[in-house]
């Protein structure tokens, strides 16, 4: 994470090619605006197909509140989504591809000022328990996960000393709860210093218990990418979101593997489904989830982390569909 933030300083020296759409067409929430980018993308002749996926929706989210933005984790709720950010902000919002008013709620995970408290405010990953609606959140620079009630009023700390093995700013970047009950966490840190494709991963047999020791495996990312998010599709397959950075900006890759591949000592090399390189939608995507659509298909949703650099980055939400 730290390497990416430092690299962002070069953005000011590199001509950025960003597609600017008109001002938000409809803003029903005073704090968070929504802009549909698809008309402008089509008009600019952007590539709406990325590998095995088709871009079905693209929106820009805007807000002036200090807790808005820098979203690193995305998960589904009952009828919508929840995103958690680097500064402890939480954004609840509905699906923008469905009819209904654009109504959002901006809250915080902890009642602390991120400017005064560094630890346990930088949320990097989130999973929602489908039966209870509880949030399981992974933080940078923390040796614990946090479990929150749906209204965020109750917070339970799950101490996991194994997370101390991962350096600051390279912690539990990706996390998901599998349909079979297992919890999988992937670190941004490299598993081997001389191999910049391998990343350490942990698997717990259920929701992690305090001080529990997990099984370990290794995730091999495509060269030039680090793991940013992990999620399970309705059909059972696992998706991993990778991000990379170069002088031309951010790049993203989505790869897939089977949950049966996960076992102690395994080295998993996911198969690449798609890359996102078009300058109109290229951003620092860190959050990902998958929905089952009304027609029986599946859609991948991505949200980007603007790192509070609104002069150079945007908070984008993408919807990607599998090609028929």
Give mean pLDDT, residues 90-102.
92
Mean model confidence pLDDT for the chain? 84
Domain that includes residue 107, residue range = 2-322
The domain total for the chain is 1
Q: What is the reported pLDDT for 107?
A: 87
Q: Note the pLDDT of residue 323.
A: 75
Q: Whole-angstrom Cα distance, residue 256 to residue 300?
A: 12
Span 133-156, average pLDDT: 90
Better-scored residue on pLDDT, 69 or 209:
209
pLDDT of residue 64: 82
> Lowest-pLDDT range, 14-23, 214-223, 228-237, 255-264?
14-23
* pLDDT recorded at residue 19: 32
* 5-19, 35-49, 64-78, 291-305: range with lowest mean pLDDT: 5-19
- Residue 52 pLDDT grade (very low, low, confident, very high; cuts 50, 70, 90): confident
Other residues' Cβ atoms within 10 Å of the Cβ of residue 8? 17
- The pLDDT confidence band at residue 308, using thresholds 50, 70 and 90, is low
Average the pLDDT over 292-319 and give the result. 87
Distance CA 246, CA 170 (A): 19
CATH number for 199: 2.120.10
Rounded Cα gap, residues 252 and 274, in angstroms? 8
Nearest one of 64, 126, 59, 144 to 90, comparing CA atoms:
126
Confidence band of 112 (pLDDT split at 50, 70, 90): low
Q: What does the pLDDT read at residue 35?
A: 95
């Amino acid at each position: 994470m730290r390497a990416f933030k430092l690299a962002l300083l070069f953005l000011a020296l590199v001509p950025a090619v960003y597609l600017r759409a008109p001002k938000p067409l409809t803003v029903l929430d005073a704090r968070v605006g929504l802009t549909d980018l698809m008309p402008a993308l089509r008009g600019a002749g952007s590539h709406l197909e990325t590998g095995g996926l088709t871009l079905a929706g693209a929106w820009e989210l805007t807000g002036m509140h200090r807790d808005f933005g820098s979203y690193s984790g995305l998960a589904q709720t009952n009828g919508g989504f929840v995103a958690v950010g680097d500064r402890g902000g939480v954004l609840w919002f509905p699906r923008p591809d469905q009819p209904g008013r654009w109504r959002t709620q901006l809250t915080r995970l902890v009642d602390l000022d991120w400017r005064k408290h560094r630890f346990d405010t930088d949320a990097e990953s989130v999973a929602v328990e489908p039966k209870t609606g509880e949030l399981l959140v992974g933080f940078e620079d923390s040796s614990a996960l946090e479990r929150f009630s749906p209204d965020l009023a109750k917070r339970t700390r799950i101490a996991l000393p194994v997370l101390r093995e991962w350096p600051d700013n390279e912690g539990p970047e990706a996390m998901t709860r599998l349909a079979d009950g297992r919890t999988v966490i992937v670190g941004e840190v490299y598993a081997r210093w001389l191999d910049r494709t391998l990343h350490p991963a942990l698997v717990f047999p259920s929701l992690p218990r305090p001080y529990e020791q997990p099984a370990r495996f290794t995730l091999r990312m495509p060269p030039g990418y680090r793991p940013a998010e992990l999620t399970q599709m309705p059909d059972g397959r696992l998706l991993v979101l990778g991000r990379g950075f170069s002088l031309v900006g951010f790049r993203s890759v989505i790869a897939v593997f089977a949950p049966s591949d996960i076992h102690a000592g395994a080295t998993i090399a996911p198969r690449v489904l798609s890359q996102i390189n078009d300058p109109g939608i290229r951003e620092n995507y860190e959050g990902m989830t998958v929905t089952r659509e009304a027609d029986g298909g599946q859609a991948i949703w991505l949200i980007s982390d603007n790192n509070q650099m609104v002069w150079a980055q945007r908070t984008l939400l993408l919807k990607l569909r599998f090609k028929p």
